A and B are shown apart, each in its own frame.
Chain A
Amino acid sequence: MSGVDTVPLRMLASLGVAGLCSGLAVVGIFLVTKPRIERNRAEALEAAIFRVVDGARSRAAFVVRDDQLVPFEGAAGTLPQEDAVYAGYDESGALLGFAIPAEGSGFQDTIKLLYGVEPSGDHIVGMEVLESRETPGLGDKIMKDADFLASFRDLAVTPPIVAVKGKPTHPNEVDAISGATISSNAVVRILNASNERWLSRVVALAKSSVQRTGSD
């Protein structure tokens, strides 16, 4: 290495050039992979909708216009780019429930999840974490821990959900995963915030359109 006569300027220049090239490479790969990654995300969301609303055979997207939920009008099979909720229907077109995407900060980074609620808005019937970067082996149990995920199959939403240590004694409680308390609380916080935002709207929607054939 010919670094004997190195001056600070040369060190700065090397790091500056390295940083610039690195930045360009990162932006480049981000732009190249973006469409594909977004398509993968949409497919994962689509599949998750049918898991959190158990038994659903078709779904329809709804977006907010003038503080009300209206059907999303886009090409068949495309998902809205804006915030949306998804209604799930059975074969006969009867409304089974809603799948609501929600996100919020976790321990490390944003946690994105999807959860299902009954048409009445009283109970959460399923929850799935779509994306998270919680600590491997601890916080990431919120995606994998079977007992934790099962506690969202029939969970009352009023009063607001709380995560407790040990066995839940009330219908609005979930058992926080030991070693992943912060991540468990984050999931509960995300759900409560999302419920406050969406529940009255989806209940109103369910009442106004009890029967609707979900065609798209």
Chain B
Amino acid sequence: MAVTTVQEDFAKGLWRENPVFVQLLGLCPALAVTNSAINALAMGAATTFVLVGSSLLIALLRNWIPKQVRITTFIIVIATFVTVADFSLQALAPAVHKELGAFIALIVVNCVILGRQEAFASRNTPLKAVADALGMSLGFSFALLLLGSIREVLGSGALFGVSLFGPTFEPWVIMILPPGGFLTLGLLLAVFAHVKERQLRAQQPAAEPTRRAA
């Protein structure tokens, strides 16, 4: 494994290895709860709490967890953090909890979280693990917020519940329904792929001119 700095561990999740747009992980919550910006933000915050907490704990315990039962242990740790998040949200923000419904409990099976434990936290120091988890969480939250904002603006004519276009706006209802999630995500992925390809083209001629000629 290449040696990376803490800053690099943090930064890669934001953009270069963004969990949703690049790794295409955690798409179930990314599609399901992003019908409004506030739901997206709440899901992002809950996921951040679970991911950072689990990564820190797994990194601290990494030398004591027998490798044969590591996945089981990861799931126990993740499930515990999810339960804490579930009850806390129920106590502090019942309206948001009711809106997100079963999806809070389903954070347990968000593959971004288990993926980071297996790929990173269980092999790195707590500091690096937390940096990685924070970067991935912020990248995930950013993706959800982007999806949620686009869908809420088009589908409800509002952002964070504040009406933008006045009463004459005819909402594009499909955007807050499940197909709107797929449409928005598909278009965003196309934009990301396009930007990435342009960046690669800009770099490649200098780095490997021969291969491009062939």
> Chain A residues in contact with chain B, CB under 8 A?
1-3, 6, 10-11, 14-15, 18-19, 21-22, 25-26, 29-30, 32-33, 36-37, 40, 44, 108, 133-137, 140
* Complex contact B66–A11 (CB within 8 A): yes
* Complex contact A37–B91 (CB within 8 A): yes
* A37: contacting residue among B67, B70, B90, B105, CB under 8 A: B90
Bound state CA distance, A6 and B67, in angstroms?
8
Bound state CA distance, A126 and B94, in angstroms?
22
Which residue of A is nearest B73, CB measured?
A: A18
Q: Which residues of chain B (38-81) have a CB below 8 Å from chain A?
A: 62-70, 72-73, 76-77, 79-80
* A15: contacting residue among B62, B73, B80, B83, CB under 8 A: B73
Q: Which residues of B contact A11 (CB under 8 A)?
A: 66, 68-69
Bound state CA distance, A137 and B29, in angstroms?
12
A-B contact sample (18 more), CB < 8 A, given A15-B69, A15-B72:
A1-B62, A1-B67, A1-B70, A6-B67, A11-B69, A15-B73, A18-B76, A22-B77, A22-B79, A25-B83, A33-B87, A36-B91, A36-B92, A37-B90, A44-B94, A133-B101, A136-B102, A137-B178
* Complex contact A40–B87 (CB within 8 A): no
A-B contact pairs, 12 of them (CB 8 A): A1-B65, A6-B66, A15-B69, A25-B84, A26-B80, A29-B83, A29-B84, A33-B91, A37-B91, A44-B94, A108-B102, A133-B102
* Complex contact A40–B77 (CB within 8 A): no
Chief secondary structure at chain A's binding surface: helix
Chief secondary structure at chain B's binding surface: helix
* Complex contact A136–B72 (CB within 8 A): no
* A40: contacting residue among B65, B66, B73, B90, CB under 8 A: B90
Q: Which residues of A contact B178 (CB under 8 A)?
A: 137
7 nearest A-B pairs in the assembled complex, by CB-CB distance: A3-B67, A36-B91, A33-B91, A22-B80, A40-B94, A6-B66, A33-B87
Bound state CA distance, A37 and B86, in angstroms?
11
Residue among A19, A26, A32 facing the most chain B CB atoms (10 A cut-off): A26
Which residue of A is nearest B86, CB measured?
A: A29
Q: Which residues of B contact A14 (CB under 8 A)?
A: 64-66, 69, 73
A26-B83 contact, Cβ under 8 Å, with A1-B62, A6-B68: yes
- Separation in Å of the B13 CB from the closest CB of chain A? 23
Which residue of B is nearest A7, CB measured?
A: B66
Bound state CA distance, A15 and B67, in angstroms?
12
Bound state CA distance, A15 and B76, in angstroms?
9
Q: Is B172 an interface residue (CB 8 A)?
A: no
Which residue of A is nearest B67, CB measured?
A: A3
Q: Is B88 an interface residue (CB 8 A)?
A: yes
Bound state CA distance, A11 and B87, in angstroms?
30
Q: Is B127 an interface residue (CB 8 A)?
A: no
Bound state CA distance, A45 and B199, in angstroms?
56
Which residue of A is nearest B66, CB measured?
A: A6
A37-B122 contact, Cβ under 8 Å, with A1-B62, A1-B65, A136-B32: no
Q: Which residues of chain B (161-210) have a CB below 8 Å from chain A?
A: 178
Bound state CA distance, A136 and B80, in angstroms?
22
Q: Is B103 an interface residue (CB 8 A)?
A: yes
Bound state CA distance, A2 and B65, in angstroms?
9
Bound state CA distance, A18 and B60, in angstroms?
13
Residue among A18, A21, A137 facing the most chain B CB atoms (10 A cut-off): A18
A29-B88 contact, Cβ under 8 Å, with A1-B67, A14-B73, A136-B101: yes
Bound state CA distance, A24 and B76, in angstroms?
12
Bound state CA distance, A140 and B178, in angstroms?
14
